[in-house]
Amino acid sequence: MNNRGINLRTILFFFILIPVMFFGLIYSLLVNIIDPTGDRFHKIAAWWGRFSAKLFGISIEITGSENYSSEKNYLVVSNHAGMADIPLLLGTMKLNLRFVAKEELGKIPIFGHVIKQAGYVMIKRGQNREALKSLLAATEVLKSGRSVHIFPEGTRSTDGKLLPFKRGAFLVAQKGGAPVLPVTIIGSQLITPKKSLKINKGKIRIIIAPPLQPSRFNNVEELMDTCSKIIENNLSL
């Protein structure tokens, strides 16, 4: 990575956000022992998300807050175009939220242990039976009354355009008995461009669509296609 990929906000990331994250993780190790449900850890993670946005000068415009209730739980699905997506969603969504994350993150010392303690679901890559089995562990989180977030594209988009969805996320909704909440994130690929260390300030728009009941769809594919169309249409707004 050359120096053109680094700016002042990159320096803030390494010298302010990383130390804050480190001490936050140490504190979270103790918090998760006291509260193994992960509920207290979520409050710390949500604060971290809001702190990150302020630190980097990211403003957030939310549309559709009336479409969900903080008293209910959902399977939240959204597009994925930037590294900022997770902290922004944690900081803005008023839900007791757990993320489905790639298995490699669970192997990072301290960090991986903390998020697994807090109920985050580690998923194996690929389309095999083991990958599906690890993904379906998220249904137990839904059944416990917490919300779960999944990026159904499976990876970040490089240009902000929506990638094809994978059906596993919608199997989780069906088996977990929770409504699906489609969320569209606009502009995050400009904040943290893929394959760059540069962090830009800017404005993110988050559009929350009305929830979808899986039982009202004939099959998982129909639910998946409907969510994909909602998010794709909102990306053009």
Distance of alpha carbon 4 from alpha carbon 226, whole angstroms: 40
Q: What is the pLDDT of residue 2?
A: 44
Distance of alpha carbon 34 from alpha carbon 26, whole angstroms: 13
Question: What CATH number does residue 197 fall under?
Answer: 3.40.1130
Q: Can you give the residue range of the structural domain that contains 63?
A: 3-235
Q: What is the pLDDT of residue 3?
A: 42
Q: How many domains does the chain have?
A: 1
Question: What SS3 string covers the chain?
Answer: CCHHHCCHHHHHHHHHHHHHHHHHHHHHHHHHHHCCCCHHHHHHHHHHHHHHHHHCCEEEEEECHHHCCCCCCCEEEECCCCCCHHHHHHHHCCCCEEEEEEHHHHHCCCHHHHHHHCCCEEECCCCCHHHHHHHCCHHHHHHCCCEEEECCCCCCCCCCCCCCCCCHHHHHHHHHCCCEEEEEEECHHHHCCCCCCCCCCEEEEEEECCCECHHHCCCHHHHHHHHHHHHHHHHCC
Q: What is the pLDDT along the chain (237 residues), one digit of tens a residue?
A: 444 568 999 999 999 999 999 999 999 999 999 999 999 999 999 999 999 999 999 999 999 999 999 999 999 999 998 989 999 999 999 999 999 998 999 999 999 999 999 999 998 876 667 777 878 889 999 999 999 999 999 888 888 899 999 998 999 999 998 999 999 999 999 998 877 889 999 999 999 999 999 999 999 999 999 999 999 999 998
Q: What is the pLDDT of residue 126?
A: 66
Q: What is the pLDDT of residue 1?
A: 40
